[in-house]
Amino acid sequence: MNLLIALVPAAALAAGNYLVAAQPECIACTAWLVGGPFLLALLLLAALPRVPAPAPPPRTVTTVPAAEVAEQGALGLLAALQADGRLVDFLEEDLAPYGDEQVGGAARDIHQGCQRALRERVTLEPVLAGAEGEAVTVEAGFDPAAIRLTGNVMGSPPFRGVLRHAGWRVKMVTLPVRRGQDPRVIAPAEVEIT
C-alpha cells in the first residue's frame, strides 16, 4: 500500500516532466527528469515510517454462554429423539395399565426411531476395543473417567480383568440448529380441528 502511495505521484510528476521539459537532444536531462521522481519516491518510502493499513471496522461478536450452548444441544437432541422415536411420550406414559406384550411392541418402534435419530446426529465408538467377557489389560496412565475399574481393585497398574462393558465415546456430533424455534419446546402441541 505504501509503495502505491509513493509511486503514483512519482509517475505523474515524471510524465509531466517528460511532456513539459524533456529535450530530445539531451538524453541525460530526460533520464533525470523522468527517473528522478521515482528515485525520490523510493528514498522517501525507505526513510518515512510505515503507514499502517486502515483497521477493519470492529465486528460485533455475539458470545453465547457455554451452559446455554450445551442446553440447546441437549434440547435439540431430545427434540430429535421425540420427533423420530417419540421417546418423551414413552417415558412420560404410565405403563402400569399395559401388559408386557403391549409395552414390548411399542418399545420396538420407539427403539428403531430413537436409534435412527441418534445415529444421524452422533457418531459413537467404544472406549475399549473388544467384546464383553473378553480378558483385557488396563495399562498405567489410563483415564479413570473413561475406564471404571470394579471388583477387587488392589495395587497399581497394569490391571488384568474381564471387559463387562466397552463404554461409549462420542466421536462426532452434528446437531442442527433449531432457528426460529423456542429451544425449550421439544414437541409442539397438536390440535386437530374438526
What value does the mean pLDDT take over residues 14-30?
Answer: 63
pLDDT for 132: 93
Residues 105 and 177 placed together within one structural domain of the fold: yes
126 CB neighbour count, 10 Å cutoff: 13
CA 146 to chain centroid, in Å, comes to 24
Mean pLDDT of the chain: 82
N-to-C CA span, the chain: 71
CA distance 118 to 111: 10
Residues 114 and 83 placed together within one structural domain of the fold: yes
Residues contacting residue 40 through CB under 8 Å, at least 6 positions apart: 10
Q: To which H or E segment does residue 125 belong?
A: strand 122-125
Residues 20 and 108 placed together within one structural domain of the fold: no
Range of the domain at 94: 66-122+173-186
pLDDT of residue 21 exceeding 90, the answer is no
State the amino acid at position 77 in one-letter form.
L
Residue 52: inside a domain, yes or no? no
Q: Give how many domains the chain has, as a whole number.
A: 3
Residue 54: inside a domain, yes or no? no
Residue 9: inside a domain, yes or no? yes
Residue 191: inside a domain, yes or no? no
pLDDT of residue 110 exceeding 70, the answer is yes
| Residue that wins the pLDDT comparison between 19 and 59 | 59
Residue 11: inside a domain, yes or no? yes
What value does the mean pLDDT take over residues 20-34?
Answer: 64
